């Protein structure tokens, strides 16, 4: 059986029209963009679909656009399959999307944190004294030698370990330019990102305490599955460590290669890139060529993933059975209604849901959101007839949605109970 991980990319993912096919075809994706706009007071969908490149590349907007698009794609995936991964890892900004996908941070809170992060990082950008550079066709030894040769150990730092021959370096402009030239002289490919801050390096230290104080105000939650933070490169599932990790995330390098090595160690065979375009898959293939990769944002790769899932009978066992759990809840929840005529309606509802369960099971078809909504409505009606108390009903439905990865599809129903 396949074991898989989600990967969420960061800067470089953004482009005009990003996420539009999901916005147009998945109601849950549209709701995600709307939620982001409501929380941020910025029309994220309009900027992504109708804005300019300059507007989209503004650091704060770019962060919000990437986070929103990736969460929308993640929710679309969960709507289609509901299969949780063994791990999730996000690259830089993508770590916030990974935390949202794991249920450790509410999406609305992640939006607020991104805005604060953008505000603080913009202070560094305005100083215009440092930037980040992508370096390819190189290795760790060559980069360290060039930093040493430029006498730049206290001003230039490796900020991303992307693969065995691609890294990012961040530093103060003058010293970083010296290192860039030395790398070019050694035939490395150097691509300066002049509008990018020297992020993931000690040059961000001055904003760390304010950022930590801000994110400590938020509540974090139990992980549905562990993520691999950029800071440690080791699995994390403790909500108490999130604020610390996200703060270190600003001043320490992205250890993406360490995450990929962990995939191999823990037997991950498939990585699903939750992104509107390919960005991290090539790094995975380079570091661990035996791991299959799919980008859920690309229709051809999405079709290939669908074929793989449907061809493996073991996946079917792991798909959260929404209708089956509804039947189980209906049967096991105590009836507090002594009116037998009213209870006959509960029996009718049970038989109606059972017919649907048998039909979907026989045809090996996963019910769509509209069909799940109909069944959920029947279940709530039946539980109300059984006179289940309001708090118990709300907790029961919330547990159902959490276990079947459909909470975001039906969170309005929870709020209305």
Residue 162: give its domain's CATH number.
3.30.70.250
Distance CA 292, CA 360 (A): 29
pLDDT reading at 93 higher than 80: yes
**Residue of higher predicted confidence among 111 and 362:** 111
Q: Do 286 and 411 share a domain, yes or no?
A: no
Q: In a 3-state reduction of DSSP, which class is residue 275?
A: coil
pLDDT reading at 351 higher than 90: yes
Ranges assigned E (strand) in 34-94: 87-90
pLDDT reading at 144 higher than 80: yes
Distance CA 241, CA 218 (A): 13
268-288 mean pLDDT: 94
**pLDDT tens, position by position, 296-326:** 999 999 999 988 888 877 665 666 688 988 9
Q: Do 119 and 56 share a domain, yes or no?
A: yes
Burial class (CB in 10 A: 0-12, 13-18, 19+), 7: buried
Distance CA 301, CA 73 (A): 14
Nearest to 374 by CA among 349, 407, 348, 396: 349
- What is the pTM (predicted TM-score) of this model? 0.83
Domain that holds residue 399: 321-416
Distance CA 213, CA 40 (A): 20
Q: Do 174 and 221 share a domain, yes or no?
A: no
Distances (CA, A) of 316 to 82, 87, 333, 367: 11, 19, 27, 13
145-169 mean pLDDT: 96
Q: Do 113 and 253 share a domain, yes or no?
A: yes
Model confidence band, residue 214 (pLDDT cutoffs 50, 70, 90): very high
Asked if 296 contacts 73 with a C-beta cutoff of 8 angstroms, the reply is yes
pLDDT reading at 72 higher than 90: yes
Model confidence band, residue 48 (pLDDT cutoffs 50, 70, 90): very high
Burial class (CB in 10 A: 0-12, 13-18, 19+), 207: buried
**pLDDT tens, position by position, 154-165:** 999 999 999 999
366-375 mean pLDDT: 87
Report the pLDDT value the prediction gives residue 318, as an integer from 0 to 100. 60
β 4-8/270-273 pair status: parallel
Q: Do 209 and 300 share a domain, yes or no?
A: yes
Provide the percentage of residues in the chain whose pLDDT is more than 70: 98
Report the pLDDT value the prediction gives residue 30, as an integer from 0 to 100. 94
Q: Do 161 and 278 share a domain, yes or no?
A: no
Report the pLDDT value the prediction gives residue 317, as an integer from 0 to 100. 60
Dihedral of CA atoms 351, 354, 360, 364 in degrees, nearest 10, equals: -150
215-222 mean pLDDT: 94
Tally the domains of the chain: 3
Q: Do 300 and 328 share a domain, yes or no?
A: no
Report the pLDDT value the prediction gives residue 354, as an integer from 0 to 100. 92
Residue 96: give its domain's CATH number.
3.40.366.10
Nearest to 168 by CA among 131, 125, 133, 130: 133
Q: Do 242 and 270 share a domain, yes or no?
A: yes
Which of 315, 339, 360 represents a domain boundary (last residue)? 315
Q: Do 115 and 208 share a domain, yes or no?
A: yes
Report the pLDDT value the prediction gives residue 319, as an integer from 0 to 100. 62
- Average pLDDT, rounded, for the chain: 92
Q: Do 76 and 210 share a domain, yes or no?
A: yes
pLDDT reading at 337 higher than 70: yes
Provide the percentage of residues in the chain whose pLDDT is more than 90: 73
Report the pLDDT value the prediction gives residue 312, as an integer from 0 to 100. 75
Q: Do 89 and 173 share a domain, yes or no?
A: no
pLDDT reading at 87 higher than 80: yes
Which of 315, 349, 375 represents a domain boundary (last residue)? 315
281-305 mean pLDDT: 94
212-220 mean pLDDT: 96
Q: Do 304 and 283 share a domain, yes or no?
A: yes
Contacts of 144-152 with CB under 8 Å at 24 or more apart are 146/179, 146/182, 146/183, 146/186, 147/179, 149/182, 150/175, 150/178, 150/179, 150/182, 151/175, 152/176, 152/178, 152/179
Which of 247, 282, 315 represents a domain boundary (last residue)? 315
| Six-digit token string for 158 | 């490796």
Distance CA 330, CA 334 (A): 9
């Amino acid at each position: 059986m396949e074991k898989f991980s989600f990967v969420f990319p960061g800067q470089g993912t953004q482009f005009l029209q990003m996420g539009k096919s999901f916005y147009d075809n998945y109601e849950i994706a549209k709701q995600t963009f709307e939620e982001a706009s409501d929380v941020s007071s910025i029309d994220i969908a309009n900027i992504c679909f109708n804005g300019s490149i300059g507007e989209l590349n503004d650091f704060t907007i770019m962060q919000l656009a990437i986070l929103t698009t990736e969460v929308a794609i993640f929710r679309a995936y969960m709507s289609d399959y509901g299969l949780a991964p063994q791990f999730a890892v996000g690259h830089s900004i993508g770590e916030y999307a990974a935390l949202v996908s794991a249920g450790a941070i509410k999406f609305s809170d992640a939006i607020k944190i991104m805005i604060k992060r953008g505000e603080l990082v913009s202070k560094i950008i305005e100083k215009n004294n440092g930037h980040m550079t992508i370096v390819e066709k190189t290795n760790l030894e060559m980069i360290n030698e060039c930093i040493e040769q430029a006498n730049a150990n206290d001003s230039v730092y490796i900020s991303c370990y992307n693969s065995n021959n691609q890294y990012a370096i961040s530093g103060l402009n003058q010293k970083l330019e010296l290192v860039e030239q030395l790398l070019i002289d050694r035939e490395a490919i150097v691509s300066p990102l002049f509008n990018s801050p020297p992020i993931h390096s000690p040059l961000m230290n001055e904003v760390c305490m304010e950022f930590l104080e801000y994110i400590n105000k938020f509540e974090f939650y139990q992980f549905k599955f562990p993520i691999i933070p950029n800071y440690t490169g080791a699995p994390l599932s403790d909500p108490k460590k999130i604020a610390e990790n996200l703060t270190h995330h600003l001043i320490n390098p992205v250890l993406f290669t360490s995450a990929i090595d962990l995939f191999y160690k823990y037997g991950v065979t498939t990585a699903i890139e939750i992104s509107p375009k390919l960005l991290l898959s090539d790094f995975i293939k380079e570091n661990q060529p035996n791991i299959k990769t799919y980008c859920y944002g690309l229709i051809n790769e999405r079709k290939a993933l669908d074929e793989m899932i449907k061809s493996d009978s073991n996946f079917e066992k792991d798909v959260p059975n929404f209708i089956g759990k509804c039947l189980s809840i209906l049967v096991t929840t105590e009836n507090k209604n002594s009116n037998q005529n009213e209870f006959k309606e509960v029996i009718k509802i049970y038989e109606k849901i059972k017919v649907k369960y048998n039909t979907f099971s026989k045809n090996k078809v996963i019910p769509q959101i509209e069909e799940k909504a109909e069944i959920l409505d029947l279940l709530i009606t039946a539980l109300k007839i059984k006179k289940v108390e309001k708090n118990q009903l709300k907790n029961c439905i919330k547990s159902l949605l959490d276990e079947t990865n459909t909470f975001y599809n039906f969170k309005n129903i929870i709020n209305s109970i």
